[in-house]
Amino acid sequence: MAFTAKILLLGSGELGREFVISAKRLGCQVIACDAYEGAPAMQVADGFEVFSMLDGERLRAAIEKHRPDFIVPEVEAIRTEVLAEVEAEGFCVVPSARATQMTMNRDAIREVAAVELGLRTSRYRYAESLDEVLAGAEHTGLPCVIKPVMSSSGKGQSTVRDATDLEKAWDYAVANMRGDRKRVIVEEFVAFDYEITLLTIRSREGVSFCPPIGHRQERGDYQESWQPTPMAPAAIAAAQDMARKVVDDLGGYGLFGVEFFVKGEEVIFSELSPRPHDTGMVTLISQNLSEFDLHARAILGLPVPEVVLHGASASAVILADRESGSFAYEGQAEALATPGAQVDLRIFAKPVTRPYRRMGVALALAEDTDTARRVAAEAAGKVRIVY
């Protein structure tokens, strides 16, 4: 058997699964890793390893066992020190060990963006005690958003409108943070008009972009995304300019999901993922090459052509409403028959470990964005998780 490259995928969720499919189509061998057997990406990979990505010894052992051409993180929570060590030994970490380290810590990436690169961000302060939180909120003003520096999917994050709630927000952040650093970022609440993800590809040929993706978040997770989202040319240019600066600083090849808030004429950098972004699942229907295809191409050193948008598109999430060991999916046929747009589904086939867990997405391609959003939401609503 001959493969074009060997990839060790760290994290095997639904985004990893789509990436594996893209990489397999280009002839790669993929070993998918995650903390439990049967994870979505493992279902389509050549092999798998089960261990916690935060376990440095097991991570190193898997890298040494497989000696991959590319180590591709799918999640943020990884023992990134090991990635830095193996990169120094000659392994290729995607997009770079530095990118994984900087983006795992909100304070690290904020320093790069706001201080080193001088990008416009929300006002912020870091805090390691309640007193520092109070001082931070003085600096940002109220409302403010408090987030653990190490967390994702909105975990431990709260918006504080009244100073008497700052203590509760600090306690909540400390109770829900990852890692052992009791540190939060206190951010000015940006009353944005809308927020976007700018998928940015850094390849051998340079930096390129997908049309901006609009999205709506609830409880720290995205609920729906759409592409393109109407945006003034000057605002797109400003976002692209900031995204280019950040990805060039982080280095390496791959696709990045760069998040911005837009308020009036102003474009404010928020954060980024050095890998495909969940809101970017809309590209599974909207573009000739999905964000996963683009990530694979950039990593493998293959040409990254200009993206062709098939039309206005949207994705809407299918959520479980409770934790359960035993459940079934129902309603796929009705969902796929939703009129008004081309409809598709991605069903994740993974355990329901918590309420509101994302179990699938509905995708729609329509005449215009409003129709695509409406049809995607309707289709998502037809898929039921039954217990």
Q: What character string, x for contact with ligand ADP (CB under 6 A) and - otherwise, covers 94-133?
A: ----------------------------x-----------
Q: Per rule CB under 6 A, is residue 189 in the interface with ligand ADP?
A: yes
Stretch that binds ligand ADP, among 162-170, 182-190, 248-256, 368-376 (CB under 6 A): 182-190
- State the number of binding residues for ligand ADP (CB under 6 A): 15
Asked about 197 being catalytic, the answer comes back as no
Q: Per rule CB under 6 A, is residue 145 in the interface with ligand ADP?
A: yes
Stretch that binds ligand ADP, among 149-157, 300-308, 319-327, 362-370 (CB under 6 A): 149-157
- Establish whether 187 is an annotated binding residue: yes
CA 185/CA 144 separation, integer angstroms: 10
Residue 136: CB minimum distance to ligand ADP, A:
12
Q: Per rule CB under 6 A, is residue 187 in the interface with ligand ADP?
A: yes
Q: How many CA atoms lie within 13 A of 160 on its CB side?
A: 30
CA angle 324, 152, 155 (to 5 degrees): 65
Q: Per rule CB under 6 A, is residue 247 in the interface with ligand ADP?
A: no
Asked about 271 being catalytic, the answer comes back as yes
- Establish whether 47 is an annotated binding residue: no
Name the catalytic one among 165, 249, 266, 271: 271
For residue 180, the SS3 value is: coil
Residue 342: CB minimum distance to ligand ADP, A:
28
For 152-187, b where at least 16 C-beta lie within 10 A, e where not — what string? beebbbbebeeeebbeebbebbeeebbeeeebbbbb
Residue 366 neighbours by CB under 8 Å, 6+ apart: 311, 312, 313, 314, 340, 341, 342, 372, 375
Q: Per rule CB under 6 A, is residue 140 in the interface with ligand ADP?
A: no
Q: Per rule CB under 6 A, is residue 223 in the interface with ligand ADP?
A: no
Asked about 60 being catalytic, the answer comes back as no
Contact indicator for 351, 295 with CB cutoff of 8 Å:
no
CA 280/CA 267 separation, integer angstroms: 19
Q: Per rule CB under 6 A, is residue 195 in the interface with ligand ADP?
A: yes
Q: Per rule CB under 6 A, is residue 220 in the interface with ligand ADP?
A: yes
Residue 220: CB minimum distance to ligand ADP, A:
5
173's tokens: 């952040």
Contact indicator for 158, 146 with CB cutoff of 8 Å:
yes
CA 94/CA 6 separation, integer angstroms: 13
Other Cβ atoms less than 10 A from the Cβ of 245: the count is 18
- Establish whether 250 is an annotated binding residue: no
179 dihedral zone (left: phi>0; alpha: psi -120 to 50; beta): left
334 CB-contact burial (10 Å; exposed 0-12 / middle 13-18 / buried 19+): middle
Q: Per rule CB under 6 A, is residue 259 in the interface with ligand ADP?
A: yes
Which CB, 29 or 270, lies closer to ligand ADP? 270
Asked about 259 being catalytic, the answer comes back as yes
Other Cβ atoms less than 10 A from the Cβ of 332: the count is 17
Pick from 232, 191, 236, 235: nearest CA to 210: 236
Residue 190: CB minimum distance to ligand ADP, A:
4
- Establish whether 49 is an annotated binding residue: no
Question: Which residues lie near ligand ADP (CB under 6 A)?
Answer: 122, 145, 152-154, 187-190, 195, 217, 220, 259, 270-271
Binding residues for Mg(2+): 259, 271
**Catalytic center residues:** 152, 154, 259, 271, 278-279, 358
Binding residues: 14-15, 74, 106, 147, 152-157, 187-190, 195, 259, 271, 278, 350, 357-358
